[in-house]
Amino acid sequence: MSDSTPRDSAEQTAFRSHCQQWLAANPLPEPPVRLPQSAIEIMHREQLEYLRDWQRQAYEAGLVGCDYPEASGGGGRTNCQRIANQEMQRAGRPFLPNILGLGMAAPTLQIHGNDFQRETLLPRLFSCADIWCQGFSEPGAGSDLANVQTRAERHGDGWRITGHKVWTSLAHFADWMILLARTDRDRKYEGMTYFVVPISTHLGKTVQVRPLIKITGETGFNEVFFDGLEIPDHYRVGEIGEGWKVAQTTLLHERGAGPLVTPSSGRGGPPERALGDAYALLDLARRSPRGLGCAADDPVLRDRIVQLIIRQEGSKQGARRAQVAALCDHPMRIPLQAKVVMSEIRQDVCALAMELQGAAASLSMGDAQAPDGGEWTLGYLNSYGVTIAAGSNEIQRNILGERVLGLAKSK
Amino acid sequence: MTQPRDFGFDTETTLLRDTARQLLRDRLPTQALHPLVATEHDPHRPPACHWDPPLWQQIVDLGWTTVAVPEDAGGAGMPLVALAALAEESGRAALPSPFIATATATLVLRQCQSAAARLLLHEIAAGRTATLAATPRSGAWDTPACDLRLEGGQLHGSAWYVQDAAKAEVLIAKAVHPDGLALITVPVDRQGVELVPDAIVDLTRDQAHVHFRGVSVDDAQILAVPGAGGAALEAAWPGVLTLVAADICGAAEWLLQTTAEYARTRVQFDRQIGFFQAVKHPLVNLMIQLDQARSLVYNAACALDHEPEQAEKFARMAKAAAAEVAAFSANRAIQLHGGIGFTWECAVHLYTKRQKHNQLLYGDAIYQRARLAELLLAETRITDHRKS
């Protein structure tokens, strides 16, 4: 299905042609270094600066943050971010690097933030002047996120932060973090408060960032230690004790189910490769030798490829159906499935790609003979990041069962 | 050509669907369906056809049979997504009726260019019931294979697995002829037609095989002349698959909601059993699979109206996904109901049996995916060729 259908509003139609014209007139230079597969795998400054420059240009052209109010540095449009995303993807542009800011911090600050947070922080977030990270998980607060122990204590008119956050993507480049901290030890859910805290300006002083190395060998996520970081009270987001409530907005958007559409662009890796796309398996199967023929001749492998194509098409049509209220029995039913479905399809596609490659799947990225540069194998290993992050898919299934099917709560 | 993003599901369609749902909820709730169809539990029971003709008359009065009939043939000419939505309601109620069979016939007639087809469409819009008699004994649904011959103006042979035959007034028979396949309309009471009911597992529909013993055919009965019948069936087929897939989605939603309700009320170990992830997660997995199939159904229905060149691909995707959902919903609903789900008195078995019939009808998931692999590999080969 083509997306440019007669159902665009007048504003959307005009905006779409603006996006198309701007993208056609402003091609990007070739990246100076190989780009990673997604923003949370950015390891090097050169990668970051190239991508940061791309986000700034897209923001200045009005393609990023277009549905946010002008006072927040947005474009003041209605339902146009989806259009910009479609056009950026169609033009084959790389991903936007400030993904945690765009996908999580921005909607949370827009919905719950004060004037300072919206009017001063958001424009710099959209333009990528400031990089953002998320400080939710802790060693003792993973699936049970409400168990956060990082403390925020009153200190004069402001707050003092002490604690240990983990799995913090982009913290090594970050200027700001959204932080969930404990302000009351006696109450679990009502004892948390939400803050924005500066990172880069306090590095080596009251903030330490220690990189973690993933199963792929890549860095990109970190541990962050706070040792009495002092912040003013206007860095607090929402009321004291309402951090869990504010965090629900962040989590909803992180899982792709929030009301504000996240600005997003294309994919990482080599641009010609549609990594994670089930349809790309057809071509890979034809190129992959198996026995005396190729993988595409094997009826069992064909069946498994088609199963994945059907799931991918079903998920794409589900996103389309979610926009038609009369065809959705429960408003959150499809949106809350998005994270589970997308992450599992991607994992299964990469896993099947490795099976299709046969013996050559043993070769890693460091080997010049690795099929498609070893990207499928890297994608397979990286896919666990998404099935685990943002609330593991097991937790997502609890949420779906409880919120949509009304089953008894696990907690 | 492009599809409208809302699948063409407009306010008129929503109203039609909601009215249908309300009617079946009022007239055929589960507590009425069970005594209607589950009258005889002996597995060696003879063939039976249980349905509610006055309810069918109400359905006709509401215009269900006009939906897919073009306006110039006396119908409402609505988008096919409307027909899919009604099929979904028929599945949700496990409705015993000639609706799916007649809608299938309608889709085939739409692809026939003859005056005879036009006339029959008029009659269907007015409430005449019809079914397709096109399958050979081997059960090869969508191949040219055929056990019925048109010879010297007469039909000889048989058609098998004829759906809801005992509720149909007219057969649309596929017959071989030296010039190719023909489609012929034959009233069920015509001399030489012998309808032999099959004893089937599904209690919510009926099925038969039909013998044609030298049934004479005149020109007014020729829906598609020899040589034109195969193409008409092929063009109608994506719609036929979509209808069954939609029925599956409706029945699966009933199974999902009924089982979720049971998991919210049944208490063991001092907890509602829906608390346990061994119960909760399979229900969520069913919901996810069902939602994918349902979205694919709307996409396939919409493609038939707006992107017919893509319709076969999308319809096979819908039927493949739905066939898996049919099996999974049937399986989990019985298992998660525990002992009570294994009893005749619990209505779950009515839906489970309908789903098992739906799963195989017109080709199961493995069959659809094998056809899809051929289509998709051919399609990408063409794209690759264009690129180079």
- In chain A, residues with a C-beta closer than 8 Å to the C-beta of B325 are none
The Cα-based distances of B340 to A253, A287, B280, B328, B348 in angstroms read 41, 52, 19, 18, 9
Cβ–Cβ under 8 Å, residues A62 and A5: no
- Residue A325 forms contact with B (CB below 8 Å): no
Which A residues in the span 116-155 are in contact with B, Cβ-Cβ below 8 Å?
none
Query: Would you state the structure tokens that stand for residue A147, as one six-digit string?
Result: 């168990």
Would you state the pLDDT for residue A267?
57
**ipTM for the complex shown:** 0.96
- Residue A330 forms contact with B (CB below 8 Å): no
- Residue A9 forms contact with B (CB below 8 Å): no
Mutate to test the interface with B, among A3, A321, A329, A342 (most CBs of B within 10 A): A321
**B173: alpha, beta or left, given left = phi > 0 and alpha = psi -120 to 50?**
beta
Q: How far apart are the first and last CA of chain B?
A: 25
- In chain A, residues with a C-beta closer than 8 Å to the C-beta of B386 are none
* Residue spans of alpha helices (H) in chain B: 11-27, 30-37, 53-62, 80-92, 99-110, 115-125, 229-265, 277-306, 308-337, 348-360, 365-387
For A271, which DSSP code?
A: T
- In chain A, residues with a C-beta closer than 8 Å to the C-beta of B9 are 324, 326-327
Cα distance between residue A138 and residue A150, in whole Å: 8
Query: pLDDT tens digits, residue range B98-133?
Result: 999 999 999 999 999 999 999 999 999 999 999 999
Annotated catalytic residue within A254, A313, A375, A394: A254
Contact assignment for A314 to B296 by CB distance below 8 Å: yes
Q: How many residues does chain A have?
A: 411
What lies within 8 Å, CB to CB, of B388 at 6+ separation is none
Q: What is the pTM of this model?
A: 0.92
In DSSP notation, A312-375 reads: HHHHHHHHHHTT-GGG-SSTTTTGGGHHHHHHHHHHHHHHHHHHHHGGGGG--TTSTTSGGGGH
Would you state the pLDDT for residue A207?
98
In DSSP notation, B147-212 reads: SEEEETTEEEEEEEEEETGGG-SEEEEEEEETTEEEEEEEETTSTTEEEEE---S-SS--EEEEEE
Contact assignment for A337 to B307 by CB distance below 8 Å: no
The pLDDT tens digits along chain B (388 residues) read: 588 989 999 999 999 999 999 999 999 999 999 999 999 999 999 999 999 999 999 999 999 999 999 999 999 999 999 999 999 999 999 999 999 999 999 999 999 999 999 999 999 999 999 999 999 999 999 999 999 999 999 999 999 999 999 999 999 999 999 999 999 999 999 999 999 999 999 999 999 999 999 999 999 999 999 999 999 999 999 999 999 999 999 999 999 999 999 999 999 999 999 999 999 999 999 999 999 999 999 999 999 999 999 999 999 999 999 999 999 999 999 999 999 999 999 999 999 999 999 999 999 999 999 999 999 999 877 665 554 4
Measured in angstroms, the CA of B88 and the nearest CA of chain A are apart by 12
The pLDDT tens digits along chain A (411 residues) read: 444 455 788 999 999 999 999 999 999 999 999 888 888 889 889 999 999 999 999 999 999 999 999 999 999 999 999 999 999 998 989 999 999 999 999 999 999 999 999 999 999 999 999 999 999 999 999 989 999 999 999 999 999 999 999 999 999 999 999 999 999 999 999 999 999 999 999 999 999 999 999 999 988 889 999 999 999 999 999 999 999 999 999 999 998 888 899 998 875 544 444 677 999 999 999 999 999 999 999 999 999 999 999 999 999 999 999 999 999 989 999 999 999 999 999 999 999 999 999 999 999 999 999 999 999 999 999 999 999 988 999 999 999 999 999 999 987
Query: Would you state the structure tokens that stand for residue B117, as one six-digit string?
Result: 């087809």
Is A254 among the residues known to form the active site?
yes
User: B29: helix, coil or strand?
Assistant: coil
Comparing CB atoms, the residue among B314, B321, B380 nearest residue A283 is B380
Residue tagged 């898996």 (tokens):
B324
Would you state the pLDDT for residue A410?
86
Query: pLDDT tens digits, residue range B80-103?
Result: 999 999 999 999 999 999 999 999
- Residue B343 forms contact with A (CB below 8 Å): no
What is the overall mean pLDDT for chain B? 96
